[in-house]
Amino acid sequence: MISVRLNNLRNVCGLHNNFLNTLCKHFSAKPPTTPIQKNAEGETQKRPKSQPVPKITLIVNDDNMSITTLEEAQHMSKRRALKLVKLVDMDNKTQRPVYKLMTGAEYNTEDLKSRQTKKQDKLSNALKGEKLLMLNVQISKHDLEVHVKKIIKWIAKRFEVRVTINGDANNAEKSEAIYKFLEDNLKTETRFLQKRMKGGDLKFQIIPPKADDAGSNKTL
């Protein structure tokens, strides 16, 4: 009888220990591992990385410059009642766009300067007139080289050069060869326009290169 009770007591103690071990495992301080996410094909999916926010260089005044985001710069311009003006699309050194906070008076001054610069560039790029150049398909290479130097001088003085290569339908290849010679020797200093064949003559214009458009301020 006593041995039976002892066996029962041992069984009860054993169940109690198993219950305690289960509770300890369930309430362990170790955080549970995140389950691995898989797509429809059963392949493991990686968590998407957050994209870095592009930075800008912000000029607050002549003595204050900071690196921030465009959104924060826009908030700052609203808080201070200033205009946010883009000065440079991409700075070669920092590889960031450059913005500046301006008062209304400062912006108007910069806008006036920009307009004056555009006007001066337009006047300086205006053609002063035109020169006529008649060439024959039998012209020698030496004479062509002389004409190339002459054209370069005219272009430097902002003249348009109207060229006519006299020929006929039977020697169109010679006219094309002369055109190609002029184009190869002048393409870095000039632009060739309106090439056309008329009555056996090859005609075209040579004008100064197109000037780069002057940059303009953009306000946000």
Tens of pLDDT, residues 24-64: 555 555 555 555 565 555 666 666 667 778 899 998 877 78
Asked whether the predicted pLDDT for residue 187 surpasses 50, the reply is yes
CATH class of 130-207: alpha beta
Mean pLDDT of 68-96: 89
Measuring CA to CA, which residue among 102, 130, 126 is closest to residue 114?
102
DSSP, residue by residue, 29-75: SSPPPPPPPB-TTSPBPPPPPPPPPPEEEEEEETTEEEEEEHHHHHH
Predicted confidence at residue 164, as pLDDT, reads 94
Cβ atoms 160, 130 nearer than 8 A? yes
Q: What is the pLDDT of residues 98-144, one digit of tens each?
A: 999 988 888 888 888 877 777 666 655 677 889 999 999 899 999 99
pLDDT at 65: 85
> Where do the structural domains in the chain lie, given as residue ranges?
55-124, 130-207
Domain covering 55-124, topology? Ubiquitin-like (UB roll) (3.10.20)
Q: Work out the average pLDDT over 79-91.
A: 88
Sequence-ordered alpha helix ranges (H) in 62-216: 70-80, 104-125, 141-156, 172-186
> What residues are paired with 164 via a beta bridge?
134, 203
